[in-house]
Chains A and B, each alone.
Chain A
Amino acid sequence: MENRNSENLRELFEKFFDAEQAESCVEDIQKAEQIFRENPAPKPDDVLIANIKAEIAMRLQAERAHHFRRILYEVVGTAAAIIFVAAISLQLFQQKDAPKTGEVAYASLIPPKIWESDNITADDEDLAVFTAQIEQIEDEVTALQSGADTGNGDSTLAELEMELIEINSGFWKD
């Protein structure tokens, strides 16, 4: 029990007392400590020591299981967060790529009525008539431009415009 970091008691006491007093203090302490050595305290029971060791082993095992559970929860939590973020991102990307409602109808030359119709046969007939009329007008415009028509140019143009308006309005009415 004398392993006190090789402490020099005399030197220590001399910092606070004169040499004679320091000597006396050191002597008092050494004599008193001798009393402790002569009157040792009881030792702990072997059964107690064995129980303490068993308790420590049990605690360590419980702590390890708790640590494992904590890691498992962390991994599961992280995975759930990743899946959630991925799902949200995917949804956002899909929304970005998908055509917006209404854009398709107006981007097309085909009237909305035909676009939304399920009657393919009727729609085809309408389209055929529409295409034929456009082609007829194109021919007449071409003839006018080339000067093939010998009639009154202004009235012919007015007639054509009237015809075009009529076709157009008639088509959209259907």
Chain B
Amino acid sequence: MAESNDLARIITGCKDGDAKCFAQIVDMYASRCYGYFYRLTGNNDISDELLSELFVKLVEKIGSYKGGSFESWLFKVASNIFHDYLRGKQRQKKSLEIQITEFESGTIEPKQSDGDLTDKLQIQLGRLDKDTRELIMLRFYSQLSFKEIAQMRSEPIGTTLAKTHRALKKLREFMES
């Protein structure tokens, strides 16, 4: 309860334009949001870019947050930013779609910046389709309940449960093989 009161106080501060409150939000959520972007893109540079965009967007959009689960709202913004990024890239370069297809089909390994080694989980995630991958990322990094994820994706909770179960089971099989 104290934690949620603190969060409410911080959000009120953000709405009043307090830079310190925004800094607290960054400290609280940067790791999870970065993990979400990184697992979706497999690229450090893009994740850096998207994370910056997310928090800058937060300054513009915080007034539109009208209560409810802040995590749900924040990850909805993050999800929109990721989709905008994909759309923008598609407009700039049609070949990105081909790259994603290749990435998803496992024919190429995801690009890594600064010579990072791709971890096994990242490779196996690349074998899942984009929608399933995003669902799993939401489940793990946003810490949202299935009910909240279902609401966010505008689908029945049974569908969300079935999709997540199927995807995680598949991922486990990939990881164990």
Q: Which residues of A contact B (CB under 8 A)?
A: 1, 3-5, 7, 9, 12-13, 15-16, 25, 28-29, 31-33, 35-36, 39-45, 48-49, 51-53, 55-57, 59-60, 63-64
Contacts and interface: CB of A to CB of B under 8 A. Distances in A.
Nearest to B168: A32
Interface string B128-165: 00000000000110011111100000000110011011
7 contacts: A1-B143, A5-B148, A7-B145, A29-B168, A48-B52, A53-B19, A60-B19
Contacts of A3: 143
Q: Interface size class for chain B?
A: 35 or more
Q: Tell me the interface secondary structure of chain A in the complex.
A: helix
A25 B59 contact: no
B106 interface: no
A61 to B, nearest CB: 8
A34 B59 CA distance: 34
B151 to A, nearest CB: 13
Contacts of B169: 28, 32
A105 to B, nearest CB: 68
B56 A56 contact: yes
Given A35-B171, A55-B55, 9 more contacts: A16-B161, A29-B168, A41-B39, A51-B52, A55-B56, A56-B55, A56-B56, A59-B56, A60-B22
